[in-house]
Structure 1
Amino acid sequence: MDADTAKPGLLKQAREFQVPPVLVPRFKEKAIELVLMLTALASVAITIGIVGVLSYESFLFFRQVSLLEFLTDSQWTPLFSEPHYGILPLVSGTVVTTTVALVVAIPAGSIVAVYLSEYASRALREAVKPALELLSAVPTVVYGYFALLFVTPALQRIWPDLPGFNMLSAGFVIGIMIVPYVSSVSEDAMRAVPLALREGAYALGATRMQTAWRVVFPSALSGIAAAYVLGVSRAIGETMVVAIAAGMQPTLTWNPLEPAATMTAYIVQVSLGDLPHGSIGYRTIFATGLTLLLMTFVFNLAGHVLRKRYRQAY
């Protein structure tokens, strides 16, 4: 059989295996679905990998250090000649700076969200909201030196005995830094509230302020709670501001006017050192990171429960 005789047979087979045009969109959808699924699985795999590394290294750490000592000792001096491995000083520093940040960010972010959602005109909102979100684009090291060189001297005029490194200025600047996260997500949640609820409140004689705080705000509370949880997670994980402005001395104190170290600041401090890989001092950063991960997980879990409860209530 020559080539000219075989060619019609090959063309006929190619036509038989050709995909019908009707099925082409379905194959495209399946391909897109596969890509999206692989992307989602990749993010899950990365998370599992991070948790696995932290858990494995922390397990090796706790083979040498008692868990009871880790949770109850009031001193954290793992690099000293007489080491102590109590995580409480780092936890207290993290909790205090986060609390100060939330005291600043939650009221300010909520007020900004209410104004942009209920009071500002569309043109003003479209101008102010992107400008406010630009605060989240400023490098955190800039915020750190802003806290050290501007906020701390300003606070020392009120408290003359305030040390140069303190948790108050660090927490205050972290609060300013996370205001865009709180206000942006909260404003989106409030804008999603149906207009009929506002009109019903106005029909009953409510003022704009009463409508905003007694109708719109409670109706959007599930989304606002998500904004608060995002702010908490961002404040807990902040590194450079606390490393620059709060000091790196791990001290068990709940006074924001004193210097202290946070868990993220300690991780940075040790990571920049020359500790040998596999040493117990090196593994302290993984135990600290696992503790930080568990704290963040608890806050996110609480936020999920809160959102679910208020979503069912409203």
Structure 2
Amino acid sequence: MSVGETTLILLAGLIPLGYAGFFLGRRKAMATQADGTRLHSRPQQYGWYSVVSMAVPAIGVAFAASLLNLLGWIALPSELVLAMTLITAAAGFAYGLMAIRPTLRARNTLDRLIRWLLLGAALISIMTTLAIVLSVIFEAMRFFREVSVWEFITGTVWSPGDSFLEAAGRGDEVSEGGGGVFGSVPLFAGTFMVTAIAMAVALPIGLLSAIFMSEYASLKTRGVVKPILETLAGIPTVVYGFFAAITVTPIVVDIAGFFGLDASYSNILSPGIVMGIMIIPFISSLSDDVINSIPQSLREGAFALGTTRSETIRNVVVPAALPGVISAFLLGVSRALGETMIVVMAAGVRPNLTWNPLEDMTTVTVNIVYSLTGDQSFDSPQTLSAFALGLVLFIVTLTLNIISTVMVRRFKQQYD
């Protein structure tokens, strides 16, 4: 019997039992209540108590059998697991009905179950994050056994060289001095460059759009403009990449040529501009919500003192909304730091340390994808460098989040 068939049969058995448990448990409680006996909980809560008494042990047995099979300790037949689960469900069903009495604290039991479910969901999120971090750290440590941490962090040349030949078992073909050089500065320079360009585009446009929609636009105009603006968030990044490579890049090259500047067709400016356009909805939507949450009494008080609308926005509304604007800004920064597709399609993959945005550069995420694809083995320095880059990028993002938390707490104000 396949896993799918076993699951279907199990559900076919548990669902009717659950429905019967709820119906019979509630009816028993209602019958007790009709006799004039005061119940601790509501009748439907006794019904749900019967369902929980039936389902939780049965699901526990099925989960334990699956875990034992997954770990390779005991491989139980599917038929046996199904029979054990259904027998446990039937026993729980009978126990749940017999346990129903006026003094049974069914509501408390259900509350504890919900609390444990919510705690389990929180622990899953925490453990998943911890597992991701530990997996990246362990693989990064393998890389740092072969490459110096100081060289990796401060090196200005990223050139894996012939490391892929060594990984492929062709070390005899490696020329002398042809080993890999893993200096991450050019990659992070490209990452910060494209992020700065994107935020220089997204922050003013997004914030001004939010101010217009919340302070100046009528309800009809807001109902039309806001959905159109938020449509940008639903466009796939590969479409943005096409737009950057086919439309924006030629325009940037032509404008640079008009001013006598030499611009590459794989420059970093084009993906930065398009990435900023992509981030506009995030900043605009969050800033709009924050500005709308500012109490109207603050605006009316400023108007009463004789300020104009623009002065009120500049001196009252925006400072009051500053924590939310900072959060929106840093959310956009995180989005830009992790973007890959636009940079690949419009800027290429050449690590280049330069201050000129008209030249080609690449980012950390692009190189991570490039390092993890291809025919090199998993334990090669070029592949393991992806985990080292991911670890440093995680530290940078964590630092930004800590800074944002400190800044938000510093500028946050409470309004009664």
Aligned to 1:141: 238
Contact 1:79 1:281 in 2 (8 A): no
**1:74 matched residue in structure 2:** 156
Cα 1:230–1:20 shift into 2, 3 Å: farther
Cα shift at 1:211: 1.4
**In structure 1, distance between residues paired with 2:252 and 2:347:** 14
Of 49-58 and 121-130, the range deviating more from structure 2: 121-130
Q: Which residue of 2 aligns with 1:93?
A: 190
The equivalent residue for 2:109 is 27
Question: How far did residue 31 of structure 1 move?
Answer: 2.7
Which sits farther off after the overlay, 153-162 or 233-242? 153-162
Does the alignment pair 1:263 with 2:337? no
- Residues 27, 130 of structure 1: CA spacing in aligned structure 2 closer, same or farther, 3 A cutoff? farther
- The Cα offsets for residues 263-284 of structure 1, whole Å up to 9 and x where unpaired, read as 0111111222111012221100
* Counterparts in 2 of 1:27 and 1:15: CA distance versus 1, 3 Å: closer
Return the alpha-carbon distance in structure 2 between the equivalents of residues 297 and 27 of structure 1: 39
- Partner residue of 1:111? 208
Question: Following superposition of structure 1 onto structure 2, how do residues 45-60 of structure 1 map, counting pairs within 5 Å?
Answer: 45-60=127-142
Deviation for aligned residue 1:119: 1.1
Equivalent residue runs for 1:240-255 within 5 Å? 240-255=341-356
2:297 paired residue among 196, 213, 228: 196
Task: Report the structure number with the largest CA radius of gyration.
Answer: 2
Shift in Å at residue 149 of structure 1? 0.4
* Larger deviation, residues 296-305 vs 22-31: 22-31
Where does residue 310 of structure 2 map in the other structure?
Answer: 209
The 2-side partners of 1:33 and 1:309 are apart by 33
Q: Structure 1 residues 286 and 202 mapped into 2: Cα distance closer, same or farther (>3 Å)? A: same
CA distance in 2, matches of 1:23, 1:213: 57
Deviation at 1:38, TM superposition (A): 1.5
**Residue of structure 2 in register with 1:42 after alignment:** 124
Q: 1:9 maps to which residue?
A: none
Is the Cα–Cα contact under 8 Å of residues 282 and 332 in structure 2 kept in the other structure? yes
Corresponding position of 1:301: 402
**Larger RCO (alpha carbons 8 Å, 6+ apart):** 1
Runs of 5+ unmatched residues, structure 1:
1-12
Which of 226, 241, 263 lines up with 1:129 in the alignment?
226
* Residue 221 (structure 1) aligned with residue 221 (structure 2): no
Amino acid aligned to 2:235: V
* RMSD of aligned Cα (Å): 1.9
Q: 1:112 to 1:19 in 2, by over 3 A?
A: farther
Gaps of 5+ in 2: 1-94, 163-177
Read off the aligned partner of 2:296 and give its amino acid letter: L
Once residues 189 and 305 of structure 2 are traced to their aligned partners in structure 1, the CA distance between those partners, rounded to angstroms, is 48
Q: CA deviation at 1:132?
A: 1.4
Greater Cα offset, 22-31 or 273-282: 22-31
Question: Take 2:290 and 2:120, find their aligned partners in 1: how far apart are those partners?
Answer: 30
Bigger CA drift: 189-198 or 75-84?
75-84
Q: CA 1:163 to 1:21, structure 2 compared with 1: closer, same or farther past 3 Å?
A: farther
Deviation at 1:130, TM superposition (A): 2.4
| Corresponding pairs, count | 302
- Matches of 1:217 and 1:89 in 2, distance apart? 36
Distance across 2 between alignment mates of 1:19 and 1:286: 58
Q: Which residue type is aligned with residue 143 of structure 2?
A: F
**TM-score normalised by structure 2 residue count:** 0.69
| Residue equivalent to 1:181 | 282
Distance across 2 between alignment mates of 1:289 and 1:27: 44
3-state DSSP of counterpart to 1:159 = helix
Partner of 2:144: 62
**1:167 and 1:245 in contact (8 A); partners too:** yes
User: 2:378 aligned with 1:277, yes or no?
Assistant: yes
Distance 2:293 2:349 in 1: 43
Alpha-carbon offset, residue 70 of structure 1 = 0.7
Distance 1:21 1:156 in 2: 80
> With structure 1 as the length reference, what TM-score do the two structures score?
0.91
SS at match of 1:276: coil
CA distance in 2, matches of 1:255, 1:82: 29
| SS of aligned partner of 1:253 | coil
Q: How far does residue 27 in structure 1 lie from its aligned partner after superposition?
A: 3.4
**Does the 8 A contact of 1:93 with 1:254 survive in 2?**
no
Using the TM superposition, give the Cα deviation of residue 313 of structure 1 relative to its aligned residue in structure 2, in angstroms.
8.4
Is the CA contact (8 Å cut-off) linking 2:320 and 2:413 kept in structure 1?
no
